[in-house]
Structure formats: C-alpha cells, structure tokens
Amino acid sequence: MDLIAPTVPVTGLKKPVEFQVLRVPDHFTKADFSTHRKPDFKGIISPDKNMVTASEIQYFDPDNLPARFLCFYPEPDTLINGVASFTLDGSQDVIYSPVAYAGTLYAPNPDFGFSFNHQLSRLNVTVTLSQDKDVTEDMVLLSAEVLTYNKLQLQLGGPLAGQLNVPGDAKKVLLPLRDDIGRIAGNIHLSKKPEDCGSVYVYPGENPVLVLKIQGKTGTFTRELSLPLLTPGKEYRVEVTADVQNVLFKASLSDWVQGEPGEAQL
C-alpha cells in the first residue's frame, strides 16, 4: 500500500493548534461525514504554522479511490450527522478547512494541503480613565466579560460546509477576558494610562456586549457596552474610555491591523 504524504502545507493559520481530522470514506462519491462519530486522527501544526503532520499514517485505497480529508478545531463535544458541536469559554477560536483532495494511488495530488478559515472574532480590550487621579483614585476593574453565545455548531459537509450556527437551545452567557497565559482578567487598578484587560473570542453573528464591573469609592457598579457587528476571522482593538464623574463609558472599536473604527457608548 502506498503512503499518503504525512506532512503537507497549510495556509491561513494565526497560531499552531492541534486539529481534528476526518477522512471521507473512500467509497463515497461526495464529501459526506454523516457516519463519523469522532475524528479519525489529529493534525499537528508546525511551530511556524506552515505545515501539518498526521498523527497516524494514512494510505491510498488499493482500488485507486480518492483520498479526501477535512480539518477543524477545537475538539467537539459531539460529532453527529456531519455537525460538530462545541461549548466554548472564550479562550479558543473555531477554525475550519474545506475538504482537501490528496489524490489517488496512481495519481497523487502534488498540491495537497489545507487552507484554514478562522470563524470567530477576537476582542482585545483596554480601559482608560479620563479624569485625574484625585477624581478616580481607587477605581478597580473587578471583571471584564462579553455577553455572547458559548454553544455553536459547525457544518462539516454538504452545501453549507463551513457554516457556523447557533443551536436552538443555546443561550447567551458571560465569557471572561483572559491575559496571554490564560488568566481571567480582574482586580485591575484603572488610571489615565490604558490598562490591558485581556482578550476573548466571540461569535460574530450578533452584536456582542462588553460588561465591566468596577469598584469605586461609593461602591460597585456595572456598565454594559453594545459593540458593532463583527467580521469572522478578524481581531479587534476595543479601547474603553471611562468618564467616571459623568458616568459615561465609551468604547472605540478598530481593526487590530487596519484600523476600521466604530463606537459604542453608555
């Protein structure tokens, strides 16, 4: 039996992760994953994000049937009827690559590889106080969260392949922002200097709501900021400016790279 190339190129990745890989049953004429209940093996991404290596050796079908593979991330809660279901905590993206054709025993595909699409949006949040210290002394950000869906489903096959949906029983929940090593943001002393409050991955299909819980001299209060509609796969900078004296909070949203502005305030 002839070996399928175990390591192939990939494009579109922002960081190395371990992918779930499905192989289309070779005798299927179409890319159908309805019989799968779990991934077939893992795809290990190189540190430079340019190559993926199969965790298990794959072989071409001896009858010259085509070999086709699909990758996605993260590991699903369930895999039923070609739909991967996830419960997310805001620390992970959902990533998908359409079916890639490896060729056949007698005609291997020299261009075999995977092209990935990031399905969620990432928010990076900073908070700045507009007043001097004498007005804002002892202002502490107790928590920073985003109200969004944490249960999502990814369609793997058919005409809707790659589409991310909210299941019917899903409810919006508060997902916490985290720093670069995964710690939940909280107890951040605020000042006129922008304070990094961490980041969170959110579903881009509906406007997310940023929820800040702050402790001041007179007690604890919460502010909610509805953000503009997001684009899948994009990373945004959310700069919150707090005018505590007038109880006015404004969020400026811009693309992390290109700077596409938008504003929300309360």
| Interval 243-261: pLDDT, tens | 766 667 888 888 875 444 4
Query: Are 16 and 56 members of one domain?
Result: yes
pTM of the model: 0.90
Give residue 181's region: left, alpha or beta (phi > 0; psi -120 to 50). alpha
What is the domain range of residue 233? 121-150+170-265
Query: Are 251 and 131 members of one domain?
Result: yes
Give the whole-number percent of the chain exceeding pLDDT 70. Answer: 92
Cis peptide before 25 (omega within 30 of 0): no
Query: Are 258 and 126 members of one domain?
Result: yes
Give the integer Cα–Cα distance in Å for 152 and 84.
Answer: 8
Whether 160 is covered by a domain: the verdict is no
According to DSSP, the residues that pair with 93 across neighbouring strands are none
Query: Are 136 and 240 members of one domain?
Result: yes
Query: Are 206 and 126 members of one domain?
Result: yes
Reported as a single tens digit per residue, the pLDDT across 77-115 is: 999 999 999 999 999 999 999 999 999 999 999 999 999
Query: Are 229 and 184 members of one domain?
Result: yes
Query: Are 40 and 98 members of one domain?
Result: yes
Query: Are 202 and 245 members of one domain?
Result: yes
Tokens of 51: 């190559």
**C-alpha atoms less than 13 angstroms from C-alpha of 208 in its C-beta half-sphere:** 30
What sign results for the dihedral spanned by CA atoms 218, 212, 182, 149?
A: positive
CATH (domain of 137): 2.60.40
Query: Are 72 and 132 members of one domain?
Result: no
Whether 184 is covered by a domain: the verdict is yes
Give the integer Cα–Cα distance in Å for 175 and 155.
Answer: 23
Give the integer Cα–Cα distance in Å for 201 and 182.
Answer: 12
Whether 53 is covered by a domain: the verdict is yes
Query: Are 107 and 185 members of one domain?
Result: no
Query: Are 92 and 104 members of one domain?
Result: yes
Query: Are 136 and 196 members of one domain?
Result: yes
- Those residues whose C-beta lies under 8 Å from the C-beta of residue 197, and which sit 6 or more positions away, are 125, 126, 127, 141, 144, 177, 185, 188
Tokens of 194: 């922008």
Count of domains observed in the chain: 2
